[in-house]
A and B are shown apart, each in its own frame.
Chain A
Amino acid sequence: MPILSFLVLPQAGAMEQLCADLSAMEHCEIIPSDNQEVVVLVTDTPDEKTENKLQEMLKNLPSLQSISMTFGHNAE
């Protein structure tokens, strides 16, 4: 049951789209910044299978330029 947080950067001009995409995804919560193009993403998945699926979806998101993990917790 991992909880992870990430810093996510949008593709140029795609901040709004990125926020919409991430908000629409299950197991995702976002905190957009006010004055910079960066989003904090917190994911909370019930199991490894869902986690892997979510990671795959994130990787393929067209509005996302880069993503880097800052925190990891696995409540076993």
Chain B
Amino acid sequence: MESNRPLPIPTPNSEPFWKGLANHQVTLQQCNDCAAWVFYPRSHCNGCLSPNLTWTEVTGNGTLYSYTVARRPTAPQFADDIPQLIVVVELNEGVRLNSVMINVAPEALIIGMAVKPVFHLQNSATLLYFEPA
């Protein structure tokens, strides 16, 4: 089952993000023109469509924006992970991302709680998971 896990396949544009995670760094794009933080990685800023984006390392700290506890696998490849703690985290920079919470009981999840990054090695990829800060 593990080997079937769907993994991200970086694109030329997103490669710095995934390479950063492999080096245990969270990097985000920031727009040189309107200063917006951009996630997920893009060719153009989704605030102003400027192509002038710069990769910047951030702490990866944030808060829990929402979560669900999936009692049934959302896809067969996640059957070993039940219950899946599927979460949306809002990073301190204001961008949101999908993730998984670990090192926490489902009952202890509280929207708004502070979270910090965990660099989770999944097969050949490093995924950005979170745990309570």
Does B associate with A?
no
Q: Write the residues of chain A forming the contact surface with B, with a CB cutoff of 8 angstroms.
A: none
